[in-house]
């Protein structure tokens, strides 16, 4: 049996016990050691994004492999691993053209055995697996293409946040935007994803890194992680301030909040030929667009799910960046909490004053 935070109904999580099946041929059973609280989880908990219930959320995790299925050849028992929700099939159009984050090969992610992978201990009823991971649980049973082995010297609480926030933020800089040294980058929203993007922009050699957030505490964190300038997102002259700092607009504007206003701001602060990249999970009825003059100015708008990562390659590199002192994960983690305090962690997230909370399992 394993203890888990289960989403029974919209509004909050309950702690209960579940049982996981034995690994199928391509599945991996992992003892979860740490899992970050991500705003994407909150969207499901609050009902902004629908999902069949009951289910176990959580997708930003690290742990130790306990057992593997008969066909698994990428990891072995005892390996330290980071999970990633952008599990890939390996043979669809997106995978073979290097866009693994876009893979939708759900039929290949499961074991051929379609019996429930997770059930409640109390009544043996199925519990849904959210985003192929369900990491708010003492154990994860996932496809081998949803995790990657990392250096065992890497602290697992810091490794966990690489699985989503850092992969998304840093991946956007390195993969989706391909930031060139000297370019100006603006990041709207200085939560876990935004801070990771700021840190990665520094690593990539961006000339100016402008952090835009309404909270002074978040802007201060951004400066620790590499922001050269900060702007209050709620200031009446925020656009003018960015234009002044960047001498006419930024090369890259990254939205890391999930709000219409912040996406629109990204478009407004672009220079000619600049690119706005939207990372946040906005309300499903939101639309972001470019005007006629934006198009005539060569401006571009793109989404970048999970930073358009190639996670089997990217994650070990990000671990190496941390081990070499280039990537600052310590500043991004605001607190470490037990599973029993997970709802308190999400309440703190709603206040928006701190960065990442991480659930640590004994």
Candidates 40, 83, 111, 354; catalytic one = 40
38 as an active site residue: the answer is: yes
Candidates 26, 35, 38, 111; catalytic one = 38
- Please state the three-class secondary structure of the chain as a single string: CEEEEEEEECCEEEEEEEEECCCCCCEEEEEEEEEECCHHHHHHHCCCCCCCCCEECCCEEEEEEEEECCCCCCCCCCCEEEECCCCCCCCCHHHHCCCHHHCCCHHHHCCCCCCCCEEECCCCCECEEHHHCCCCECEEEEEHHHEEECCCCCCHHHHHHHHHHHHHHHHHHHHHCCCCCCCEEEEECCCHHHHHHHHHHHHHCCCEEEEECCCHHHHHHHHHCCCCEEECCCCCCHHHHHHHHHCCCEEEEEECCCCHHHHHHHHHCEEEEEEEEECCCCCCCCCCCCCHHHHHCCCEEEECHHHHCCHHHHHHHHHHHHHCCCCCCCCCEEEEECHHHHHHHHHHHHHCCCCEEEEECC
Candidates 26, 39, 59, 252; catalytic one = 59
143 as an active site residue: the answer is: no
86 as an active site residue: the answer is: no
What CA–CA distances, in Å, run from 344 to 188, 244, 251, 258? 26, 40, 38, 22
**End-to-end CA separation in angstroms for the chain:** 15
Candidates 95, 164, 190, 266; catalytic one = 164
- Which residues touch 265 (CB under 8 Å, ≥6 apart)? 188, 212, 233, 238, 239, 253, 255
164 as an active site residue: the answer is: yes
Candidates 26, 35, 39, 43; catalytic one = 43
| Torsion sign over Cα 238, 242, 245, 247 | negative
Alpha carbons 306 and 86: distance in angstroms, whole number: 7
The answer to whether the CB of 306 falls within 8 A of the CB of 168 is yes
137 as an active site residue: the answer is: no
Residues tagged active-site: 38, 40, 43, 59, 164
């Amino acid at each position: 049996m394993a203890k888990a935070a289960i989403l029974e109904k919209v509004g909050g999580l309950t702690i209960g016990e579940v049982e996981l099946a034995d690994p199928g041929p391509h599945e991996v059973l992992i003892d979860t050691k740490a899992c970050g609280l991500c705003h994407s989880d909150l969207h499901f908990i609050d009902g902004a994004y629908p999902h069949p219930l009951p289910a176990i959320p959580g997708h930003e995790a690290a742990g130790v492999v306990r057992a593997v299925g008969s066909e698994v050849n990428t990891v072995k028992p005892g390996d330290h691993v980071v999970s990633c929700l952008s599990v890939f099939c390996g043979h669809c159009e997106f995978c073979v053209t290097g866009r693994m984050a876009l893979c939708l090969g759900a039929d290949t992610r499961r074991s051929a055995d379609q019996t429930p992978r997770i059930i409640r201990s109390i009544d043996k009823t199925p519990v849904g697996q959210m985003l192929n991971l369900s990491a708010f649980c003492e154990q994860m049973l996932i496809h081998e293409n949803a995790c990657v082995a990392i250096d065992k010297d890497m602290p697992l609480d810091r490794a966990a946040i690489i699985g989503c926030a850092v992969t998304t933020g840093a991946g956007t800089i390195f993969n989706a935007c391909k930031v060139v040294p000297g370019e100006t980058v603006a990041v709207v929203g200085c939560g876990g994803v935004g801070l990771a993007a700021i840190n990665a922009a520094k690593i990539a050699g961006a000339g100016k890194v402008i952090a835009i957030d309404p909270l002074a505490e978040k802007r201060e964190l951004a400066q620790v992680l590499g922001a050269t300038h900060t702007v209050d997102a709620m200031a009446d002259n925020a656009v003018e301030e960015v234009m002044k700092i960047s001498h006419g607009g930024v090369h890259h504007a990254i939205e890391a909040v999930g709000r219409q206003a912040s996406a629109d701001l990204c478009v407004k602060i672009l220079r000619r030929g600049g690119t706005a990249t939207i990372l946040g999970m906005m309300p499903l009825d939101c639309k972001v667009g470019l005007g006629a003059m934006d198009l005539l100015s060569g401006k571009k708008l793109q989404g970048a799910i999970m930073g358009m990562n190639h996670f089997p390659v990217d994650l070990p590199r990000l671990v190496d960046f941390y081990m070499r002192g280039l990537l600052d994960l310590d500043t991004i983690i605001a607190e470490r909490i037990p599973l029993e305090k997970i709802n308190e962690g999400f309440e703190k997230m709603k206040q928006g004053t701190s960065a990442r909370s991480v659930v640590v399992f004994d």
